[in-house]
Amino acid sequence: MDNPLIFSIQHCCIHDGPGIRSTVFFKGCPLRCVWCQNPESWKKEMEIAFRAHRCLDCGQCAEVCPQGLRLPENRPSEACSFCLACVQVCPAEALTAVGEIFSEADLLAGLRPEYPNFEATGGELPFPGERRECSPLSYRVLLPA
pLDDT (average), residues 101-121: 86
pLDDT (average), residues 104-119: 85
CATH of the domain at 126: 3.20.20.70
**86 and 113 share a domain?**
no
Output the pTM of the full model.
0.70
CATH of the domain at 69: 3.30.70.20
Q: How many helices (H) and strands (E) does the chain have?
A: 5, 5
Cα 102 to chain centroid, rounded: 10
pLDDT (average), residues 105-115: 86
- 93 in Cβ contact with 52 (< 8 Å): no
Residue-wise pLDDT for 69-92, tens only, equals 876 665 656 788 889 999 999 999
Host domain of residue 89? 47-98
**58 and 36 share a domain?**
no
Burial of 56 (0-12, 13-18, 19+ CB in 10 A): exposed
**35 and 103 share a domain?**
yes
- At 138 the pLDDT is 47
Burial of 99 (0-12, 13-18, 19+ CB in 10 A): buried
**6 and 24 share a domain?**
yes
